[in-house]
Structure 1
Amino acid sequence: MDNTLIEYIAVCKIKLAEKSVQVKREKKINYGQQVVFCRGDMETAVNFYCGKKGVSAVVQGKESPLKLQIEETITAKSIFAEKVHISKNEEEIVPAGTDNWMGCDESGKGDVFGPLVCAACIVTKEEAAVLKKSGVCDSKMLTDKVIANLAKDIEKILQGRCITRVVMPEEYNSLYDDYKKEHKNLNNLLGDLHAKNIRVLLSKYNCPCIIVDKFGKDQYVLSGLEGLEKSHQIIQITKGERDTAVAAASILARNGFVRAMTELSRRFCMELPKGAYLGISETIQAIIQKQGIHDLQYVGKLNFKNFDFLR
């Protein structure tokens, strides 16, 4: 498939993921690629082509809120600007001469239901090449099924040099309340979770460089490293998933999130929607009716505005 088309599809996936639109499945088609996007129960297929006149995208199916959102997103001029931006920034983030390094990322921060998951892993140059060849990239560009398979490969290759910390809703809500009492916010909590993962891996393995997908002020992560930042190079950068170690961490984190959501859905006997929009209010009401208002703390992140009625 043409590199220009690959880049364009990748940016579209990322932009749509930011709006809680996920990839359900994809396949090769004549002269291009078909990607089926979903949000809640809605599905929309998009055919991406690359011909003599350049890249084009055809959104399939009947009119729906999802189809409209996809059309507005993938035809925006910012997509083309972003594609160029990514092309110009594919250079290595890792400093020259670094033989091994750590990548850190999270999943679930923007989801009303389910856990907050942080992951970290240490890779060598050789392992990074193998992982990249096997398809490791930003998890937002992958289906849940592909993520599950890649997560197994990552864990098998890295052995003990990876860690995934899953903070289920009940623990998350308790921690969030504790941080709020100390006049701290979600980014403080997230930074401390990343710092704990970093400290655990550094207690077992030598690793001179740590790359974190940047989500806020550097201090959110640095404050929890207990001085390790003085002896290690800490790089916090946006779009950190360009680096294979961070991409691998994003896959481990997403896999942990999806598995936890599957378990919660089984426990509550209903399909819990991902994201923060479609189906959220209806699901909250269904949980209250079936389980009682008290059980919301076990399934949702109560700091979201969706739960303001509890306060």
Structure 2
Amino acid sequence: MSNLVLELSKEEILLLRGTLKADPGKLPPGMIFRSKYQGVTISIYNSGKGMFQGTNNDKVAKELIGRNTPDSEPRMIMGSTQNKTINYNNYSCIGSDEAGSGDYFGPLTVCACYVSKENIAVLKALGVDDSKKLTDTKIVALAEQLVTFLPHSLLVLDNPKYNDRKALDWSQVKMKAVLHNECIKNVLQKIDVDTLDYIVIDQFTPRSTYERYAMGDVPLKNKTCYETKGESKSLAIAAASIISRYAFVKHMDALSKKYHTTILKGAGPKVDLAAAKLIVKHGIDVVDNITKKDFKNRDKALKLVKGYNRK
């Protein structure tokens, strides 16, 4: 399905909402209006972006608001592999990435998503970029738009399950390999594989280790590439990164609300102190249930608690 994204003015949003009949169904988070007109689905988001999905979307946009897609072409980003250079954004790709792997608090989240070459311009228009450059607020706004039209799979390994795998001697690399592989297989079930050019994984381990740890068949090995700093080389990876980061951010927000304090991201000294305060208030068992127990932060936090108790 063809997609067109436009930055809408307040007047254009009011015009569309006044002209079109609203979809009575429940809207996804971040979407404020949805309607169908002449076979084209029109979605309006909190961000002020409007998406027109379907054949002749440009003609429908021109009819409804008097304009269509900008003439500018998407900028192609170079991506390199060990032996060749690929302009991934010239192709239809599945990208995969994860979030939470370096954070003491919170789960490990992994996402794979399919971005057709026709949707590259859409992602550029929405402002999809390396998630490390985006604020949490922007990530939430983008993810809530991306999940409405990109075929994707999101898996969340919560802290109890993470700690259970660690107790079974799984490394974090093995956990990530299994989750990435499962997400990719899930997305392959949602698309026409004949349209797929590449699978691009944000590289966290050598290919041989990934394939050994993935547990089960690694699909389409001949189409699979591993890229360091993949978010800057493939918009499919950038989109997957945003969705996985979104899931992590929402989980952390829920933890902060539950424990009536800001649950910090990362694994630095401030996190040690925050963990120590939670241990004092709730006990180590509660903290173990919302953290990755193998991180050194645990011992550092317990040491801080011990020092506090001596006073």
Per the normalisation by structure 1, the TM-score is 0.64
Deviation at 1:203, TM superposition (A): 2.6
In structure 2, the residue matched to 1:234 is 224
Q: Say if 2:89 is the partner of 1:100.
A: no
In the alignment, residue 176 of structure 2 is paired with which amino acid? L
Deviation digits for residues 232-271 of structure 1, max 9, x if unmatched? 4110010100210000011001111100001111122211
In the alignment, residue 116 of structure 1 is paired with which amino acid? L
Larger radius of gyration: 2
In the alignment, residue 185 of structure 1 is paired with which amino acid? S
In structure 1, the residue matched to 2:201 is 212
Per the normalisation by structure 2, the TM-score is 0.64
Change (3 A) 1:204 1:297: same
Give the counterpart of 1:110 among 96, 102, 107.
Answer: 102
Gaps of 5+ in 1: 1-88
Structure-to-structure mapping, 1:284-303, within 5 angstroms: 284-303=275-294
In structure 1, the residue matched to 2:73 is none
Change (3 A) 1:126 1:225: farther
Q: Say if 2:304 is the partner of 1:305.
A: no
Q: Matched residues in 2 for 1:134 and 1:98: separation?
A: 18
Q: Matched residues in 1 for 2:244 and 2:115: separation?
A: 16
SS of 2:262 mapped into structure 1: coil
Q: Matched residues in 2 for 1:201 and 1:225: separation?
A: 17
In structure 1, the residue matched to 2:257 is 266
Give the counterpart of 1:124 among 107, 110, 116.
Answer: 116
SS of 2:105 mapped into structure 1: coil
Deviation at 1:222, TM superposition (A): 2.2
Gaps of 5+ in 2: 1-75, 81-85, 303-311
Q: Say if 2:152 is the partner of 1:200.
A: no
SS of 2:102 mapped into structure 1: coil
Give the counterpart of 2:210 among 208, 211, 221.
Answer: 221
Q: Say if 2:77 is the partner of 1:90.
A: yes
Q: CA RMSD in A?
A: 2.4
Q: Matched residues in 2 for 1:96 and 1:168: separation?
A: 32
Give the counterpart of 1:154 among 125, 146, 155.
Answer: 146
Q: 1:115–1:169: 8 Å Cα contact kept in structure 2?
A: yes
Q: Matched residues in 2 for 1:153 and 1:170: separation?
A: 30
In the alignment, residue 101 of structure 1 is paired with which amino acid? C
Q: Matched residues in 2 for 1:171 and 1:146: separation?
A: 29
Give aligned pairs, total: 217
Q: Matched residues in 2 for 1:256 and 1:270: separation?
A: 19
In structure 2, the residue matched to 1:73 is none
Q: Matched residues in 2 for 1:212 and 1:249: separation?
A: 10
Q: Matched residues in 2 for 1:150 and 1:306: separation?
A: 32
Q: 1:192–1:220: 8 Å Cα contact kept in structure 2?
A: no
Deviation digits for residues 139-163 of structure 1, max 9, x if unmatched? 00001111111001211221xx111
SS of 2:149 mapped into structure 1: helix
Worse-matched range after superposition: 92-101 or 201-210:
92-101
Q: Matched residues in 2 for 1:127 and 1:230: separation?
A: 22
Q: Matched residues in 2 for 1:247 and 1:96: separation?
A: 12
Q: 1:208–1:232: 8 Å Cα contact kept in structure 2?
A: no
Deviation digits for residues 61-87 of structure 1, max 9, x if unmatched? xxxxxxxxxxxxxxxxxxxxxxxxxxx
Q: Matched residues in 2 for 1:95 and 1:273: separation?
A: 37
Q: 1:127–1:157: 8 Å Cα contact kept in structure 2?
A: no
In structure 1, the residue matched to 2:171 is 185
Q: Matched residues in 2 for 1:204 and 1:172: separation?
A: 27
Change (3 A) 1:270 1:210: same
Runs of 4+ in structure 1 off by over 3 angstroms are 92-99, 225-232
Identical-residue share of aligned pairs (%): 33
In structure 2, the residue matched to 1:49 is none
